[in-house]
Amino acid sequence: DPGRGTSGIEKSIPVSGKGSCQAEPGDTGDEQDAVLEDYETIEGSEEIRGKKRKMNIQLMEFPRHMDEYGSLVPIEASDSVPFDIKRVYYIYGVEKGVRRGFHSHADLEQVLICVSGHVRILVKTPWEEQEIFLDDPQKGLYIGPMVWREMFDFSGDAVLLVLAGDHYKVEDYIRDYNKYEQIARQYFTENQ
């Protein structure tokens, strides 16, 4: 059972510079990998918005106020996360062996935080696939539009908190993987 603070990417295939913004000089797949492997405290929304255009996911580290009274992690909408928080949900009571998710969103931005226990997240585009291990309330996984996600290996005590940039909209879900791949190829090509 891995301890706290070991969250991170377990498998990673470098992203090939997709994005609506111009690639910076020397912006190679290797460099993006380095960004992903080092957690960073995101203080404003601009920085992450720039980054998500390249890969549409981003690992975040939130500050923590810790003293003899315990720990508190504050998240300010449109500052600690790069969107207004229109919806919050949490997933718990997931039994061993269960895998859930299996969808992408067309527009929605989300940040996933495992506030108790641990869980693994698979994020996938037509070109890359990464497995991310979340086991620390300070760590967040930003997932932008058009990323396929699956959640699995929930510990018995896992609580996965999700902050979302919009209200529930059934039409924003893409639940068929083949359809997702088709739309995603078009989306990333247009925004290249």
CA dihedral 149, 52, 129, 84 (to 10 degrees): -10
Residues contacting residue 68 through CB under 8 Å, at least 6 positions apart? none
Pick between residue 19 and residue 137 the one whose CB is nearest to a second copy.
137
Q: Write each residue from 38 to 67 as x if it is in contact with a second copy (CB under 8 A), else as -, in one continuous string.
A: ----------------------------x-
Q: Is 93 in the site for a second copy (CB under 8 A)?
A: yes
The three-point CA angle 75-174-10 to 5° equals 55
Pick between residue 86 and residue 179 the one whose CB is nearest to a second copy.
86
Q: Examine the residue annotation and report whether 103 is marked as an active-site residue of this protein.
A: yes
Q: Is 91 in the site for a second copy (CB under 8 A)?
A: yes
Q: Is 191 in the site for a second copy (CB under 8 A)?
A: no
Which H helix or E strand runs over 182? helix 177-190
Neighbours of 71 (CB within 10 A): 10
Which residue of 134, 146, 163, 174 would you call a contact of a second copy, by CB under 8 A? 163
Catalytic residues: 103
